[in-house]
Amino acid sequence: MFNNRCENGLCVQKAWLCDGENDCGDNSDERKCRDHTCSENQFTCKNGYCVSSHYVCDGDRDCSDNSDEDPTLCRTTVAPSCPAGSFSCGNGTCLPRSKVCDGREDCVNGADEWRCKKDACHRPEGNRCSQICNSSSTGYTCSCRAGFKLQPDGSSCEDINECEQYERNKCNHFCVNLKGHYKCTCAKGYELHGLTTCKRVDPTVKPFLAFLLRYEIRKLAVDGSWESDILRKVQNAVAVDFDWAEQRVYWTEGRAPPRLKRAFFNGTGTEVILETGLSNVEGLAVDWVGRNLYLADRIQDKIFVATLEGRYMRTLISEGLQEPRAVVVDPSDGTFLNLNSTY
């Protein structure tokens, strides 16, 4: 049973105390050995260390002071030594080192497996690993299955949220964390192809990017295959974004006074929705889930939020910004990014 706690918190068998091996990893099982009493199946070396009784007079120096091979104790001729790089069974038989601790007793007396503390994971007293136990020459270590990480206690495992780590998931649209893994899902109008890629259900819907040419707003296919107008004759447009649900485009104008406008994709319904409280808005983002607008004002060093109708404008951030010039919203997890920092 692993009934002796090391100073680093690990547990080892009592029989491993003062055996000349650093089983704890911090050598705490090899301290205070002069006052230690060896068990009945162990031999007490003259220096206080304990070794297995099987090691006595086996031709190898197991006690650091060689007291387990003392001629007065053994009263026999020590078996001839084996060539360098080989293992002595203690009875005159030599083995390649590759056969030592391989789980098979190649020596007639089993000496090649005596010193091996293997299979600690399968011993009756069990182990503390919550998932995977790995036997080693000093006992065992714990590890976790894919999708989990080992905790500081060295035995328990915690789920990894792959959705919070971009490098761990490749989802086109949305990521859903599951215990030990994750899955990808798609926005309305798209379906999952393979494990991570979302493709349009309706092939007539053609995704595009909206961009400004100062006095006009245009749209460009994401694959670059086509380009067309959304609006012409806008006045000094600075920032742009659109709302697919209502088929509207939003933009700011840098003229004095600055204004926030919107219109339908077909060019109709142009209206001013905000023209007070702004100085120089160079960043604009539409939250198509929360139905809000986010505006980055470079002169005021502020980020504002308002409804899609331009109502109830409030200052969202007024500290820690220096000339914010862009803002992007991720409605799926309620965050947005500006040129300076993430919130």
Residue 334 and residue 226 share a domain:
yes
Residue 332 and residue 288 share a domain:
yes
Residue 271 domain flag: yes
Q: How far apart are CA 319 and CA 302, in angstroms?
A: 7
Residue 223 and residue 331 share a domain:
yes
What does the pLDDT read at residue 98?
83
Residues 146 and 158: beta-carbon distance below 8 Å? no
Q: How far apart are CA 96 and CA 85, in angstroms?
A: 7
Strand (E) or helix (H) holding 176: strand 174-178
Residue 306 and residue 218 share a domain:
yes
- Farthest CA pair distance, the chain: 110
232: its two tokens: 């012409």
Residue 49 domain flag: no
Residue 217 and residue 195 share a domain:
no
Residue 292 and residue 213 share a domain:
yes
Let me know the angle formed at the C-alpha of 47 by 42 and 49, rounded to the nearest 5 degrees. 35
What does the pLDDT read at residue 341?
46
Q: Is the peptide bond before 257 cis (omega within 30 degrees of 0)?
A: yes
Asked which of 200, 225, 260 is the last residue of a domain, the reply is: 200
For residue 123, which of 256, 16, 245 has the smallest C-alpha distance?
Answer: 16
258: its two tokens: 């600055």
What does the pLDDT read at residue 12?
64
Q: How far apart are CA 343 and CA 326, in angstroms?
A: 13
What does the pLDDT read at residue 339?
59
Helices and strands counted in the chain (H then E): 2, 27
What does the pLDDT read at residue 148?
92
Asked which of 177, 200, 223 is the last residue of a domain, the reply is: 200
Residue 246 and residue 267 share a domain:
yes
Asked which of 175, 200, 225 is the last residue of a domain, the reply is: 200
For residue 190, which of 244, 227, 240 has the smallest C-alpha distance?
Answer: 244
- CA 200, 291, 229, 237 torsion-angle sign: negative
Residue 247 and residue 183 share a domain:
no
Residues 271 and 303: beta-carbon distance below 8 Å? no
pLDDT tens per residue, range 226-278:
888 888 888 888 899 999 889 899 999 887 778 899 999 888 999 999 988 88
Residue 327 domain flag: yes
Residue 331 and residue 240 share a domain:
yes
The CA–CA distances, whole Å, from 155 to 23, 134, 254 equal 17, 11, 60
In 3-state terms, what secondary structure has residue 95? strand
Residue 314 and residue 246 share a domain:
yes
Residue 311 and residue 193 share a domain:
no
The segments of the chain whose pLDDT lies below 50 read 1-2, 77-78, 124, 341-342
Count the neighbouring beta carbons within 10 Å of the beta carbon of residue 12: 24
Strand partners, 177: 182
Instruction: Note the Cα 126 to chain centre separation in Å.
Output: 28
Region of residue 58 (left: phi > 0; alpha: psi -120 to 50; beta: else): alpha
Length of the chain: 343
Residue 189 domain flag: yes
For residue 317, which of 340, 333, 285 has the smallest C-alpha distance?
Answer: 340
Residue 190 domain flag: yes
What does the pLDDT read at residue 78?
47
Residue 299 domain flag: yes
* CATH code for the domain in which residue 277 is found: 2.120.10.30
Residues 314 and 304: beta-carbon distance below 8 Å? yes
* CATH code for the domain in which residue 173 is found: 2.10.25.10
Burial class (CB in 10 A: 0-12, 13-18, 19+), 88: buried
Q: What is the DSSP letter of 196?
A: T
Residue 12 domain flag: no
Residue 285 domain flag: yes
Residue 216 and residue 190 share a domain:
no
Range of the domain at 300: 208-338
What does the pLDDT read at residue 28?
80
Domain count, the chain: 2
